[in-house]
Amino acid sequence: MNILSSAGFLQHLYQVCRLPPGSGALVAPVCSTFVFMSKGTTKRSAIQPEGDVSAPSVRAGNKILCRTLVLLFVCAALQVWWILEQPKGSCMEDHPAFQYFMRQVTTFRHYMTMDEYGGPTQKPTWLYSGLKCIEELYKFKPLRLPQHVVEEKQMVVHYKDKNGVDRICGGKDLKSSENYPAQFGVALARLRTHHAAQVKKNALRVVKNNLKGCSMIPLNHRASPRWIKWAELEPVFDFLM
């Protein structure tokens, strides 16, 4: 399902809307145009987090992020335990859409490294979540990991451009580092199982109250022009007509 297409985004939205209260969703928007290795071409920075929007890859990265955040708004409304993963070097959090989302939806951030869960490299990682218990993930990491030979990975390449300016780019092994180690998934599953009863109980209570008319979203609420622009939703609306 290509979230960049109207049909693909609607399929994602349909699947999210099917999730029952208290269930879970893990998302990991493509980070390639948000990580520090690509700043030379994307022109992203803390003061220009949207980057060089004349570049198709940058525009696609912004669109993927904003459409993912729309899905997470739905997750929050349905009381679905959502988690968003990004490498520590990503500046995705600085994007104005992400900043707006975190002002509207309570968000917790947990730091971890994938090597603690059997990953071949350290890969420092941020996990964003709507529930504070994400900070307890470390309690479920494996006590012992299989012994294996750690291979030296080429994650970053340093070079000078034609003007003699120092540059960096992703190395030949960077792509393979995006795969999650199995023990990371096991730890997430154990964390969710540990809190499942309480999470479901709280979720059902909130949904029940909302159905009684206590929802913070007014009945005459209309789509936000801000999000229509950020997530490029006009083509989606046209697709539905």
pLDDT tens-digit readout, 158-167? 666 777 766 6
Q: What is the DSSP string of 162-186?
A: TTS-EEEEE-TTTGGGGSPPHHHHH
SS3 133: helix
pLDDT tens-digit readout, 70-125? 999 999 999 999 999 999 989 999 999 999 999 999 999 999 999 999 988 889 99
What is the CATH topology of the domain spanning 6-147+177-213+222-230?
Rossmann fold (3.40.50)
Q: What is the pLDDT of residue 227?
A: 94
Q: Which one-letter amino acid corresponds to residue 9?
A: F
Q: What is the pLDDT of residue 145?
A: 73
Q: Are strands 166-170 and 81-87 parallel, antiparallel or unpaired?
A: unpaired
The more confidently predicted of residues 9 and 172 is: 9
CA gap 215, 116 in Å, rounded: 41
**Confidence band for 36, pLDDT divided at 50, 70 and 90:** confident
Q: Are strands 81-87 and 108-113 parallel, antiparallel or unpaired?
A: unpaired
CA gap 232, 241 in Å, rounded: 16
* Mean predicted confidence (pLDDT) in 205-232: 77
Q: Answer yes or no: are the C-beta atoms of 82 and 76 closer than 8 Å.
A: yes
* Mean predicted confidence (pLDDT) in 53-64: 97
The percent of residues above 90 in pLDDT, for the chain, comes to 70
The more confidently predicted of residues 171 and 31 is: 31
- In the chain, domain spans: 6-147+177-213+222-230
Which secondary-structure segment (H or E) carries 27? strand 24-27
Q: What is the pLDDT of residue 81?
A: 97
Q: Which residues contact 228 (CB under 8 A, 6 or more apart)?
A: 234
pLDDT tens-digit readout, 220-234? 567 789 999 999 999
Torsions phi, psi for 160 (to 5 deg): -110, 135
Q: Answer yes or no: are the C-beta atoms of 85 and 126 closer than 8 Å.
A: yes
SS3 24: strand
pLDDT tens-digit readout, 9-27? 999 999 999 999 999 999 9
What single DSSP character describes residue 148? -
Q: What is the pLDDT of residue 220?
A: 59
The more confidently predicted of residues 40 and 168 is: 40
When the pLDDT of each residue in the chain is averaged and rounded to a whole number, the result is 89
